Structure 1
Amino acid sequence: VHRLVRISPFDAAGKRHTSFCSVDVVPQMDGDIDIEINPDDLKVDVYRASGAGGQHINKTSSAVRITHIPTGIVTQSQAQRSQFKNRDQAMAMLKAKLFQLEEEKKAAELAAIRGEQKDIAWGSQIRNYVFHPYSMVKDLRSGYETGNIGAVMDGDLDPFMDAYLKWTLEGTKATEE
């Protein structure tokens, strides 16, 4: 969270305003999840279904249970009279569960990349940009600060990145400029 203190050009009274901004930088990830199921990874069981259906349900093994051995996910279907339809339905449920598992893995990977996120509020800022009553940009984590606010606003962020990296490696605050 970044905090900006300035005299707003939109305030006719010329009062000092404080604003907060959060920046979230994440890599672009491949959004396509293609579920490939190796038939050797499946254990398919057929059994007699239970419930209403009379003689047909008692004489045929139309219910299907599919176990995905690598993950231990089990799906089953006995809704249809046909074993083939039940197999297709159980396979569709298995693909849906594997898809959900892959989405959870991607979400966990993204959370690990993203790191810590704080509320956009007082006390959670990592950097202050003060335009008034004085000019200063200060990184509150590393302690690095500079009075050359124009250079920072023009993109000169290398000193801040260097100070942050030093702070994360050594745990020491940077000397003031």
Structure 2
Amino acid sequence: MIKAFLTSFQVLTSDEISQFESLLVKRHLKKGAFFISEGKFSKEVAFINTGILRSFYTTESGEEMTYCISFPNALMTAYSAFITGMPTIENIQAIADSELLIIQKHDIDKLQESSPNWIRFSKIIAELQYLELEKRLFVFQKDKAKKRYIDLLENQPDYVQQIPLQYLASYLGITPRHLSRLRKEIQY
């Protein structure tokens, strides 16, 4: 799966992909376990082989706000902390048993020094992260919760039912009660 993911960008050679694969370490997270916690330094990137991860922060009042849910075949890290070297203000938690393929930041740095293809690849990933964030912001401001929920059902039908109601509601920007009403209304 990781090989197909990397190949899809059409930037890396097969040798570079093999080199990347040799640096990966498999990690299993049980449902509820953390990939990274607030206050820690982000020094690794995970490729989600199986499972679901959520990114969230805790408000001053103690409420958890889920702002990102990531599914298999995606990269995941506390991105701003990874870039800045500062402690993260977010948490990344498995909401289903997950298998991750982990690469360390120092290995990514070495890869980038070894070939301009890795710099191009990193640029593409950064651009995709920006576009995804912008899309989420626009959709959140433009679309109603019902449309956001339907889009999620259409794009991730196998996984939506695995996401606990309170996390899904937070991600959609609605209350769990409102989400329950939407679920009854939309018999998908």
Q: TM-score range by the shorter chain?
A: under 0.3
Structure-2-length-normalised TM-score? 0.20
Relative contact order higher in (CA < 8 Å, ≥ 6 apart): 2
Which structure has the highest helix share of the two? 2
Structure-1-length-normalised TM-score? 0.21
